[in-house]
């Protein structure tokens, strides 16, 4: 099997004497795969292996009044029943290790359950069958609470509070913002002068990764006071760090072995099984295996989040999109997992691969009483792409244009300024559309066949337009904004403010007070999103700092110097690992 390279496209940009690319090569691990000897986590055997099965919530949302394990405890084979109170640190958020989000999810629910299938107890037994039987013998007295399963219902006043850490049912991004913004140009006047307005509402369902190998882990005590854990995780160190935090043990006492993963697709980063398998091994002194069965895999292992999008386009009669407004709601389910991060990724992807001079977008990570959502193949990007591309088809229809040609007119060219203030380079949408059309004998007009990504971009299209923001009003052309939490301790408030900066560079941290506009109202705490410049963000405020709306915060001195650290680069590298 070889790859067909089009030599006529981007010929000048490519060196053709490649040694590996385009040539078949054998995978290093494939001999193990075809002989069935690749060591998946479940291919490790231990004497006296114990098995975990969880007691799970039958309700979307309920308070736990009482748990009765009397009968289960005396059932054959039951070795230990683990409760939330047995978990040393029973609250976490997956990206807390990267300083993103607040701890909001227990390993085992203690006071309430927030989604159907949420684990409440883990039963450790000598066989899986015995664990199942003991699970069925547990009695839990629930007070059923009102639930909410729809993102728009969840953010209405008076909606059931899904997640007490975020009482408004919305994730808080840096600076306490309840959504992520993208502002580029000014959409309102552009809509006013547009020849056509096209609007759409798009709903994408959650998608289960469904790897053939389920999530699982086997943990065993070692003689050197360490615990070995064979795991299906997609991120060994990520999972190790998560367990070290939850179980309050030094990470060097945990020895994770994995890397042979029977399909992941994002569904094996949540570290669902490792904490309980290792805790089980600690509490029993035996090897413990915790594997989701297929029903659990479908019901409680996290899918890609559902997304709801509203898209409004302003179109000129000649086929140009002159304004696009997007509002999106990600359904995070009951807890954050990786959906907040998915929203950040999404904002960096908008408004799709098209050069649009006026863009306005708000994206929310919303909590509902559904299964928590997480990573899944291009999460944050693929679902909104569906919305955008359906919207493109709608736009073409409104204009009476061919949908391919409408896309070709608006596609990024090299040198164009993207709405998130990066110059587009190595664009290939035009060439991809042309190649696809050719393959299926789709007739494109001569001028469209002649288009190329390498011309027509740059110049005026490379400029950042004057941009309207809620907080600062109109920013002059060529400026961007940067979220600054701390430049010099004690001098600048510890919460996010917008500073206009030249697009060519970031302001140097200044030892003198930087004049910053005071926040006007709570909603204006929202900062203008800038993907690249946010590297200047400082660590979040310590908990004792008063909320940003209190003017006292402006003058309150802050403890010790804080070194601004690059943040997005770290998230990006995490995202790149997750495929």
Partner 1 sequence: MMVKKPLEFRLNGTEVAVFADEAENLLSVLRAKVGDLTPKYGCGQGGCGACMVTIDGRTVLSCITLAETVAGADVGTLAGLSGERLDPLQEAFMDGFAAQCGYCTPGMIVAARALLQHNPTPDRDQIIEAISDNICRCTGYEPIIEAIQSVVAQERAGGS
Residue with smaller CB distance to partner 1, 12 or 37: 37
Residue with smaller CB distance to partner 1, 43 or 438: 43
**CB-based contact 477:466 (threshold 8 Å):** yes
Q: Give least dist CB 57 to partner 1, A.
A: 22
Pick from 270, 278, 288: nearest CA to 215: 270
Does 36 participate in binding partner 1 (rule CB under 8 A)? Answer: yes
Does 23 participate in binding partner 1 (rule CB under 8 A)? Answer: no
Q: Give least dist CB 33 to partner 1, A.
A: 3
Pick from 396, 390, 395, 341: nearest CA to 365: 341
Q: Residue 102, exposed/middle/buried by CB under 10 A (0-12, 13-18, 19+)?
A: middle
Q: Give least dist CB 316 to partner 1, A.
A: 40
3-class SS of residue 238: helix
**CB-based contact 170:156 (threshold 8 Å):** no
Please pick, from the candidates 10, 38, 316, 458, the single residue that binds partner 1 as defined by CB under 8 A.
38
Please pick, from the candidates 30, 205, 317, 474, the single residue that binds partner 1 as defined by CB under 8 A.
30
Residue with smaller CB distance to partner 1, 43 or 141: 43
Residue with smaller CB distance to partner 1, 52 or 249: 52
Does 579 participate in binding partner 1 (rule CB under 8 A)? Answer: no
Residue 105 DSSP symbol: B
Enumerate residues 223-252 that contact partner 1 by CB under 8 A. Answer: none
3-class SS of residue 197: strand
Handedness of CA 537, 541, 547, 549 (dihedral sign): negative
Distance (Å, rounded) from C-alpha 421 to C-alpha 425? Answer: 12
Interface mask (CB under 8 A) for partner 1, residues 159-198, using x and -? ----------------------------------------
Does 34 participate in binding partner 1 (rule CB under 8 A)? Answer: yes
Please pick, from the candidates 107, 219, 261, 399, the single residue that binds partner 1 as defined by CB under 8 A.
261
Please pick, from the candidates 185, 214, 328, 352, the single residue that binds partner 1 as defined by CB under 8 A.
214
Residue with smaller CB distance to partner 1, 296 or 498: 296
Residue 466 DSSP symbol: P
Does 440 participate in binding partner 1 (rule CB under 8 A)? Answer: no
Distance (Å, rounded) from C-alpha 435 to C-alpha 441? Answer: 10
Q: Are strands 359-367 and 321-333 parallel, antiparallel or unpaired?
A: parallel
Stretch near partner 1 under the rule CB under 8 A, chosen from 41-49, 309-317, 514-522, 555-563: 41-49
Residue with smaller CB distance to partner 1, 36 or 157: 36
Q: Give least dist CB 263 to partner 1, A.
A: 5
Q: Give least dist CB 42 to partner 1, A.
A: 7
Does 212 participate in binding partner 1 (rule CB under 8 A)? Answer: yes
Distance (Å, rounded) from C-alpha 214 to C-alpha 296? Answer: 9
Does 439 participate in binding partner 1 (rule CB under 8 A)? Answer: no
Stretch near partner 1 under the rule CB under 8 A, chosen from 204-212, 311-319, 363-371, 442-450: 204-212
| Residues 6+ positions from 13 with CB-CB distance below 8 Å | 426
Does 21 participate in binding partner 1 (rule CB under 8 A)? Answer: no
Please pick, from the candidates 265, 290, 341, 531, the single residue that binds partner 1 as defined by CB under 8 A.
265
DSSP string, 350-408: TT-SB--S-EEEEEEEEE-SS---B--SSTTTHHHHHHHHHHHHHHHHHHT--HHHHHH
Whether the link from the prior residue into 88 is cis, omega within 30° of 0, is: no
How many residues does this entry show for the chain? Answer: 579
Distance (Å, rounded) from C-alpha 237 to C-alpha 231? Answer: 11
Distance (Å, rounded) from C-alpha 305 to C-alpha 267? Answer: 12
Residue with smaller CB distance to partner 1, 19 or 35: 35
Neighbours of 490 (CB within 10 A): 14
Residue with smaller CB distance to partner 1, 42 or 150: 42
Residue with smaller CB distance to partner 1, 42 or 402: 42
Residue with smaller CB distance to partner 1, 232 or 494: 232
Interface mask (CB under 8 A) for partner 1, residues 44-83, using x and -? -x------------------------------x-------
**CB-based contact 265:577 (threshold 8 Å):** no
Stretch near partner 1 under the rule CB under 8 A, chosen from 53-61, 263-271, 278-286, 422-430: 263-271
Q: Which two tokens stand for residue 62?
A: 């309920």
Please pick, from the candidates 73, 213, 402, 470, the single residue that binds partner 1 as defined by CB under 8 A.
213
Distance (Å, rounded) from C-alpha 280 to C-alpha 121? Answer: 12
Does 456 participate in binding partner 1 (rule CB under 8 A)? Answer: no
**CB-based contact 421:531 (threshold 8 Å):** yes
Please pick, from the candidates 9, 10, 32, 549, the single residue that binds partner 1 as defined by CB under 8 A.
32
**CB-based contact 211:267 (threshold 8 Å):** yes
Residues that bind partner 1 (CB under 8 A): 1, 24, 26-27, 29-38, 40, 42-43, 45, 76, 127, 129, 210-214, 260-265, 291, 293-294
């Amino acid at each position: 099997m070889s790859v067909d390279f089009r030599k006529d496209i981007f010929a000048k940009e490519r060196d053709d004497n490649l040694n590996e690319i385009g040539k078949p090569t054998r995978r290093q691990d494939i001999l193990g795969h075809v002989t069935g000897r690749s060591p998946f986590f479940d291919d490790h055997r231990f004497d006296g292996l114990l098995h975990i099965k969880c007691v799970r919530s039958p309700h979307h949302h309920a308070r736990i009044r009482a748990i009765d394990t009397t009968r289960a405890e005396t059932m054959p084979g039951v070795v230990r029943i683990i409760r939330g109170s047995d978990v040393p640190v029973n609250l976490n958020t997956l990206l807390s290790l990267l300083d993103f989000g607040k701890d909001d999810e227990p390993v085992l629910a203690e006071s309430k359950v927030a989604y159907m299938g949420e684990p409440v107890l883990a039963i450790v037994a000598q066989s899986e069958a015995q664990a199942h039987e003991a699970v069925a013998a547990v009695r839990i007295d629930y007070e059923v609470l009102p639930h909410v399963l729809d993102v728009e219902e969840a953010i209405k006043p008076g909606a059931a509070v899904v997640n007490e850490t975020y009482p408004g049912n919305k994730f808080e991004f840096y600076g306490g913002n309840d959504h992520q913004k993208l502002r580029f140009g000014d959409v309102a006047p552009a809509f006013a002068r547009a020849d056509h307005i096209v609007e759409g509402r798009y709903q994408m369902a959650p998608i289960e990764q469904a790897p053939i190998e389920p999530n699982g882990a086997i943990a065993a005590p070692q003689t050197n006071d360490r615990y070995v854990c064979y795991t299906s995780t997609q991120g060994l160190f990520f999972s190790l760090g998560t367990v070290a935090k939850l179980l309050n043990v030094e990470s060097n006492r945990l020895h994770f072995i994995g890397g042979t993963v029977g399909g992941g697709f994002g569904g094996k980063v949540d570290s669902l099984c490792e904490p309980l398998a290792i805790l089980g091994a600690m509490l029993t002194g035996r090897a413990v295996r915790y594997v989701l069965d297929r029903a659990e895999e479908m019901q409680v292992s996290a899918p890609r989040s559902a997304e709801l999008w509203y898209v409004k386009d302003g179109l000129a009669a000649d086929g140009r999109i002159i304004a696009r407004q997007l509002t999106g709601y990600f359904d995070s389910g009951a807890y954050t997992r990786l959906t907040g991060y998915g929203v950040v990724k999404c904002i960096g992807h908008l408004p799709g691969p098209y050069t649009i001079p006026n863009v306005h977008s708000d994206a929310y990570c919303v909590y509902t009483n559904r299964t928590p959502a997480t990573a899944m193949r291009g999460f944050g990007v693929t679902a909104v792409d569906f919305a955008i591309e359906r919207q493109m088809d709608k736009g073409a229809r409104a204009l009476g244009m061919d949908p391919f040609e409408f896309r070709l007119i608006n596609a990024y060219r090299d040198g164009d300024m993207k709405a998130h203030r990066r110059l587009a380079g190595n664009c290939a949408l035009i060439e991809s559309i042309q190649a696809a059309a050719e393959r299926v004998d789709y007739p494109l007009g001569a001028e469209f066949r002649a288009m190329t990504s390498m011309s027509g971009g740059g110049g005026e299209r490379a400029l950042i337009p004057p941009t309207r923001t809620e907080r600062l009003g109109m920013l002059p052309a060529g400026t961007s904004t940067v979220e600054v939490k701390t430049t010099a301790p004690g001098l600048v408030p510890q919460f996010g403010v917008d500073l206009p900066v030249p697009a060519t560079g970031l302001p140097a941290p200044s030892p003198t007070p930087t004049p910053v506009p005071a926040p006007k109202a709570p909603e204006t705490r929202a900062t203008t999103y800038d993907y690249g410049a946010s590297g200047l963000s400082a660590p979040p405020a310590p908990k004792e700092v008063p909320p940003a709306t209190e003017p006292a915060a402006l003058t309150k001195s802050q403890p010790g110097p804080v070194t601004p650290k690059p943040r997005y680069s770290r998230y990006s590298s995490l995202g790149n690992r997750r495929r």
